[in-house]
């Protein structure tokens, strides 16, 4: 006798307030919990959900919910972490898309498989990490990526994508373009190179070396440094609702950069190999006087102008009104259009 399939985990009129780190109020008409590839296929084959539009939800830490969600919300809960291979030049490790990112990073370090330490404490789940090619302190996901499994939301077919197919860029991938909302990432594999090489060429980490006198920190020490730097700079979403950096750092031509430096010699900028330059969006926002300001119940974080916060009871519309006001003043003063980093729904 064949076992009857597990019932689908469906919730109607589900509150999303606790499921997004901004703490924005929104209600999902339907929320389905996804624990496996088979669960995605059951959604695809479902008479009511198959053709409906979908919102794929991880930890909700890179999302601005501006309204109730009529799309079917797929809450990703695929679990499991394992070592797939250990070769002389790498450890290949796999994690389910529903694993908590920071817990996964801590687990790899505890197992003695370093490489993800600079990405410690980034909120969210493993499955969303490739979507925007998460990055921090000199390392991006693409530097440690092997491949991922995803299920197509139209055909229900499982596919494996390598790095080239993911088309990673700065906070960008194919999952923000052609595959946006069309493909559910269910597992991600990482290639952690051996021998391990620390990545320490970042000002805050250099400061830690100077402070501690430890010029050869091990991976766990680096993860600890990154964790404490992040805690000092960024608001904890459990205390103050936010989605991390609200705008991408804009890239401008060498000529535009020279022009801005001519007018504002202090502008924080990082030259790029092709001659262009990345400007610190937080500096531009701060220069326009926004740090600590509010529009309604949405505000600009006092310690970091790049982070917008929920001062208590803010709606998504208030956050977007504040974001637009910031974009207008930065454009007015510098001629630069800031682009939001989180997905706006």
Ligand X SMILES: Cc1cc2nc3c(=O)[nH]c(=O)nc-3n(C[C@H](O)[C@H](O)[C@H](O)COP(=O)(O)OP(=O)(O)OC[C@H]3O[C@@H](n4cnc5c(N)ncnc54)[C@H](O)[C@@H]3O)c2cc1C
Among all residues, which ones are annotated catalytic?
Answer: 171, 245, 341
Nearest to 28 by CA among 59, 61, 57: 57
**Nearest approach, Cβ of residue 162 and ligand X (Å):** 16
What helix, strand, coil percent values describe the chain, rounded to 5?
30, 30, 40
The residue to which tokens 């410690």 are assigned: 120
State yes or no: residue 173 binds ligand X (CB under 6 A). Answer: no
Residues in 68-87 at the binding interface with ligand X, rule: CB under 6 A: 76
Q: Out of 134, 226, 257, 284, which residue is the one contacting ligand X (CB under 6 A)?
A: 134
Q: Out of 122, 161, 174, 308, which residue is the one contacting ligand X (CB under 6 A)?
A: 122
**Nearest approach, Cβ of residue 135 and ligand X (Å):** 5
The dihedral built from the CA positions of residue 176, 297, 26 and 40, taken in this order, carries a sign that is positive
Query: Is beta strand 269-271 parallel, antiparallel or unpaired with respect to 277-279?
Result: antiparallel
Order across the sheet with 269-271: list the strands: 251-252, 277-279, 269-271
State which residue, 257 or 300, has the beta carbon closest to ligand X: 300
Chain centroid, CA 250 distance in Å: 17
Q: Out of 24, 166, 234, 288, which residue is the one contacting ligand X (CB under 6 A)?
A: 234
State yes or no: residue 240 binds ligand X (CB under 6 A). Answer: no
Binding segment toward ligand X, per CB under 6 A, in 85-93, 107-115, 155-163, 238-246:
238-246
Build a one-symbol-per-residue string for 175-194: x at contacts with ligand X by CB under 6 A, - elsewhere: x--------xx---------
Identify whether the C-beta of residue 182 lies closer than 8 Å to the C-beta of residue 131: no
Please list, in sequence order, all residues whose beta carbon lies within 8 angstroms of the beta carbon of residue 302, skipping any fewer than 6 positions away: 291, 292
Identify whether the C-beta of residue 80 lies closer than 8 Å to the C-beta of residue 96: yes
State yes or no: residue 128 binds ligand X (CB under 6 A). Answer: yes
State which residue, 127 or 217, has the beta carbon closest to ligand X: 127
End-to-end Cα distance, the chain: 45
State yes or no: residue 305 binds ligand X (CB under 6 A). Answer: no
Contacts with ligand X by CB under 6 A: the residue count is 32
Q: Out of 30, 62, 310, 315, which residue is the one contacting ligand X (CB under 6 A)?
A: 62
Query: Is beta strand 307-310 parallel, antiparallel or unpaired with respect to 241-245?
Result: antiparallel
Identify whether the C-beta of residue 88 lies closer than 8 Å to the C-beta of residue 192: no
Q: Out of 125, 192, 319, 338, which residue is the one contacting ligand X (CB under 6 A)?
A: 125
Tokens (6 digits) for 188: 């991600």
Tokens (6 digits) for 216: 């050869």
**Nearest approach, Cβ of residue 259 and ligand X (Å):** 29
Build a one-symbol-per-residue string for 241-280: x at contacts with ligand X by CB under 6 A, - elsewhere: -xxx------------------------------------
C-alpha atoms less than 13 angstroms from C-alpha of 56 in its C-beta half-sphere: 28
State which residue, 185 or 257, has the beta carbon closest to ligand X: 185
Contact set with ligand X (CB under 6 A): 21, 56-63, 76, 97, 122-125, 127-129, 131-132, 134-136, 175, 184-185, 234, 237, 242-244, 343
């Amino acid at each position: 006798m064949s076992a009857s399939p597990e019932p689908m985990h469906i919730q109607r009129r589900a509150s999303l307030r606790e499921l997004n780190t901004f703490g924005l109020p929104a209600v999902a008409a339907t929320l389905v919990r996804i624990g496996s590839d088979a669960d995605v296929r059951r959604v695809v084959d479902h008479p009511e959900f198959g053709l409906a539009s979908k919102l794929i939800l991880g930890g909700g830490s890179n999302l601005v919910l501006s309204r109730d969600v009529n799309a079917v919300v797929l809450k990703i809960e695929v679990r499991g972490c394992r070592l797939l291979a250990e070769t002389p030049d790498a450890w290949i490790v796999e994690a389910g898309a529903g694993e908590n990112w920071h817990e996964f990073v801590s687990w790899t370090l505890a197992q003695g498989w370093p490489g993800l330490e600079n990405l410690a404490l980034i909120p969210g789940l493993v499955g969303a990490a490739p979507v925007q090619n998460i990055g921090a302190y000199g390392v991006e996901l693409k530097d440690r990526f092997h491949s991922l499994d995803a299920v197509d939301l139209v055909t229900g077919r499982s596919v494996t994508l390598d790095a080239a197919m993911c088309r990673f860029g700065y906070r960008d991938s194919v999952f923000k373009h052609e595959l946006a909302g069309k493909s559910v990432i269910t597992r991600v594999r990482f290639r952690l190179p051996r021998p391990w090489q620390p990545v320490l060429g970042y000002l805050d980490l250099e400061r830690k070396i100077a402070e501690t006198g430890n010029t050869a920190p091990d991976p766990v020490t680096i993860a600890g440094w990154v964790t404490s730097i992040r805690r000092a700079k960024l608001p904890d979403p459990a205390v103050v609702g936010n989605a991390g950096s609200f705008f991408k750092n804009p890239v401008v031509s060498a000529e535009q950069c020279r022009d801005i430096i001519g007018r504002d010699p202090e502008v924080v900028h990082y030259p790029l190999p092709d001659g262009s330059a990345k400007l610190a969006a937080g500096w531009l926002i701060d220069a326009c006087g926004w740090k600590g300001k509010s529009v309604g119940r949405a505000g600009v974080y006092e310690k970091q102008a790049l982070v917008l916060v929920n001062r208590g009871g803010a709606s998504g519309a208030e956050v977007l009104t504040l974001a637009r006001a910031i974009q207008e003043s930065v454009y007015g003063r510098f001629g630069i259009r800031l682009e939001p980093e989180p997905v706006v729904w």
